[in-house]
Structure formats: structure tokens, C-alpha cells
Amino acid sequence: MYGKHPNIETPGNSVKIWRYMDLSKLIALLEYNSLYFCRVDKLGDPFEGSLPKKHTLDFFAGTEDQRKLAIKKLEENGMPVADRSKEALMEYSIVNDMRNNVYVNCWHMNSHESDAMWKLYQKEGEGVAIQSTVSRVKKSFQNTDVGVMIGRVKYLDYEKDEFKDRNLLTFSFAKRISFEHEKEVRLAITYTPKEQYANVDSDKLPKMPNDIKISDDYGLYAKVDVKKLINKISINPIANEWLQAIVTKIIKRYGLSIPVEQSELNKLPLF
């Protein structure tokens, strides 16, 4: 079920979101009634889940001048430097662990289809975009035991910007400003593999939710209600004509009544 997080900005319920995918991923979604969540440090960008420079320098002041300034500030706040060093090491370690324990499913926020997203994620033309809303996503997890968060991604200059809060989960809802065109909304799940509980008795380990299945070392599947999730399916604007017919048959085969439409980008002008 959806859980609101005070440090994560969730868009309004009526906001439209899109997920662009190839046909095989659509079939997997329908077959397993599950969304795939990828571990945040395996998304392809090394900055995913990492700290902006300002936060890193707070942890480990780099130059001698920076160290002196950090020591001065710490002493002004009444914190012994040695204690701060231990705290920094511990917090930095927690950040790295968080990157290994947060799994995300990524969507594009837009009131309409995006030509750029089609070209970015569907170059071959044999794909679809499923359209949903924030409200639909929340409802699709209502009857599951999956704790999911929904948040708008913040785009940062990692050299200059910083987070106003220090909640570690917010680092997983940020990307470099170079990706701002993606207008991303993320669904996130936190899951800690049992291997990380080295000193905890097996009978005291947190129980894996029934509606989460491990896919591989870097991902997991979370159960959803597909009927509630998908508002409509759009066909890639450069796809062959037969693709709409095939997707329509697939949808009916799974007992669903989801509209399957040609891309709005294929519409012709009135004059």
C-alpha cells in the first residue's frame, strides 16, 4: 500500500504519468500482475542515490582549509571533532547501504505523450506506453502488503546544490540536472536482503512481504492490481499497423478492458 513520506514530494492525485516499454515488458506486467523495481545503484547513472558534493564535504572535508573550516564549525556547535568523524563515517556507510536497499520503478510525468520519450525508450517502434495517474498507482497497491512511496524526482547540480533535509531516502529521489527532460516520478520500495543482517537471529529477521518476489540480484517484482493501474495503452507512433491489433488481443486474453489507442502523435491536422 502507498505510504506518504514527509521528505518526498508526491504529485497530486490527478497528475498523469507514463511508462514507456517494449511489448515483452507489457506482457510480463500482465502475466505476473507485478511491476519490476530496479535497485537504485544499478540504474546506469553512477550518481544515482549518491551524495551531492556539499554533503560529501560535510562528511569528509577535503582540503586543509576545508578541514579547518569544518573543525571550526563543529567546535562552534559543541561537537568534538573526533565524534563528528565517527558520525560521518557511520552516516556515509548508511548512505551506501541505502543505495543497495532502495528499489525504484520509473515513470514520466506529462499531461500528454512525449515524442522525446518515444525516441529515447522505443527506438525500434515495437513498443507501447501505459498511461496512469498518481491516484491509480496508489489504488493499485491498496490490497497488497507492499509498502510503496511515490515521489517527484528532484534534479540537482551535484557540484553546487544540496538537500535541505538530511533524510537519506531523499537521495534516491534525485538525479543530475542533465536528466531534467525526463520529468521523472518514482515508485520506491525499501528492502534489505537477509545477508545484511549478519548478527541477527533468523527468527528475528524482518519478514519478506508476500507480494514481493526477488527477480535477481538487482531487482524485484511487486504485486499490483493492473486493472486499477492502467488507464489506457498507447501504441508507438512509428509502429506497424498490426501492433495495435496484437496488443488489443493480448489485453482481452487477460480478461481486461483497457483501451488500446494509436499514439496521439499520429493525428493529422484539420487543414
Residue 69: pLDDT above 70? no
Nearest residue to 209 (alpha-carbon basis) of 127, 119, 141: 141
Contact in structure between 194 and 204 (CB atoms under 8 Å): no
Nearest residue to 130 (alpha-carbon basis) of 39, 29, 250: 29
Range name among 48-52, 57-61, 131-135, 254-258 with the lowest pLDDT average: 57-61
Residue 75: pLDDT above 70? no
- The model carries a pTM of 0.82
Q: What is the pLDDT of residue 204?
A: 55
pLDDT digits (tens, 9 = 90+) for 8-35: 999 999 999 999 999 999 999 999 999 9
What's the rounded Cα separation, in Å, for the pair 152 and 155? Answer: 10
What's the rounded Cα separation, in Å, for the pair 45 and 174? Answer: 11
